Amino acid sequence: MKTLDTFNFAGKKALVRVDFNVPLDDNNHITDDTRLKAVIPTINKILKDGGSAILMSHLGRPKAGPEEKSSLRHIVAYLNEAFKTEVKFANDCIGADATALATSLQPGQILLLENLRFYKEEEKGDEAFAEKLSKLGDVYVNDAFGTAHRAHASTAVIAKFFKDKVCGYVMQAELDNAKKVLEKADKPFTAIMGGSKVSDKILIIETLLSKVDNLIIAGGMAYTFFKALGGSVGTSLLQEDQIPTALKVIEIAKQKGVNLMLPVDNMIAKEFSNDSERKLNTGIIIPDGWMGLDIGPESIKKFSDVIENSKTVLWNGPTGVFEFPNFAHGTFSVAEAVVRATKKGAFSLIGGGDSASAINNLGFGNDVSYVSTGGGALLEYMEGKTLPGVAALEA
């Protein structure tokens, strides 16, 4: 796989697949610029070499063609400020406007194309659409790890139309850090698996059971484990069909000597609301009419002690409904424990998605070893699956 540092972009027009799928508020202002900041070094390398950069991305999930809220035009002002230049914007990602702007692009300049997913051909992996995109540049760079698990036109299919295919800095760092955790983790190794559904995380959990010393399970999926152990969960999130899976995880953990940790207390609420009546509940019996929305203080203490004494920490998924301030304490406390472990010398990988948002919202982004920009892609890579976007760069 060619990497950025082994390639000279002088005089080249680099067509760069970036991941600018960032959250916007109702006024189309960017609320989390993690993914935007991450790709800046890749673009700077291309420009510094004397090349130009043509950026392509998706944003949101447009249902039927162009829509204002999903336009990448909303990203232009941010890019102008980040690169201290006027970034050109094409009103389409293919066609006359995009072609004319790409053709006239000079070394040191940046062009942003409109949302790829305004065309249904992008997600279908359409070869003709990929070929049209490919004609805009001389060299292909993929720095969108967050979409590397999708066999889309711009992430995988397009690579076949280029002699030179280069792995960007974000993609390279994501792969290097994931490999470090999977293949070279210092012990003790602790994985914290949060989030709502056992079914979303079971493959990564099964992989981790042969690698970790401690496996902390929290968030909504902990209640399926409560039920599997004979507890009751009230109106908490529950995947009845995953109870056998939970029992299997518990059994494998015993066989492999993994310290499987579940919450010992929970903050429970009458309703799924920040302002709901709430109280602390101990054990795995949650009363009827109540739902678990966060871990309690004793769980925080037990989890934090294990995390702080680890040499490697992988965290994927919040421990509660951290969007609600009254039920965010567990997630924030776990984040603080990961930071303390890192300061003591541990390697900490934050696995994208909500965990990354929690770390960044707390201002801890620079206090952990690495914050992944790809939630689903990281999980699939760690599950041992081939990522089409990575395979295309290796072909």
Query: What is the DSSP track for 108-145?
Result: T-EEEPPPGGGSHHHHHT-HHHHHHHHTT-SEEEE--G
Non-local CB neighbours of 336 within 8 Å, separated by 6+ positions = 304, 362, 364
What's the CA gap between 308 and 89, in Å, rounded?
A: 47
**35 tagged catalytic:** yes
Non-local CB neighbours of 130 within 8 Å, separated by 6+ positions = 153, 154, 157, 158, 160, 161
* Cis peptide bond prior to 388, omega within 30° of 0: no
Non-local CB neighbours of 335 within 8 Å, separated by 6+ positions = 358, 359, 362, 364
Tokens of 32: 């989390």
Among the options 197, 256, 270, 340, which is catalytic? 197
Pairing between β-strand 259-261 and β-strand 214-217 as defined by DSSP bridges: parallel
CA 92 to the chain's CA centroid: 27
Query: Taking phi first (over 0 means left), then psi (-120 to 50 degrees means alpha), and beta for anything else, what does residue 144 get?
Result: beta
Given CA atoms 87, 92, 97, 101 in this order, what sign does their dihedral have?
Answer: positive
**197 tagged catalytic:** yes
pTM metric for this prediction: 0.88
Tokens of 246: 């939970």
- What is the Cα gyration radius of the chain? 22
Q: What is the pLDDT along the chain (395 residues), one digit of tens a residue?
A: 999 999 999 999 999 999 999 999 999 999 888 889 999 999 999 999 999 999 999 999 998 889 999 999 999 999 999 999 999 999 999 999 999 999 999 999 999 999 999 999 999 999 999 999 999 999 999 999 989 999 999 999 999 999 999 999 999 999 999 999 999 999 999 999 998 888 888 999 999 999 999 999 999 999 999 999 999 999 999 999 999 999 999 999 999 999 999 999 999 999 999 999 999 999 999 999 999 999 999 999 999 999 999 999 999 999 999 999 999 999 999 999 999 999 999 999 998 678 888 888 888 989 999 999 887 889 899 988 999 999 999 97
pLDDT at 376: 83
The three-class DSSP label of residue 232 is strand
Among the options 195, 220, 330, 353, which is catalytic? 353
pLDDT at 373: 82
Among the options 12, 35, 117, 201, which is catalytic? 35
Among candidate residues 293, 301, 311, 297, the one with its CA nearest the CA of residue 191: 311
What's the CA gap between 248 and 323, in Å, rounded?
A: 31
Crossing angle for the helix pair 353-361 and 375-382, to the nearest 10 degrees: 130
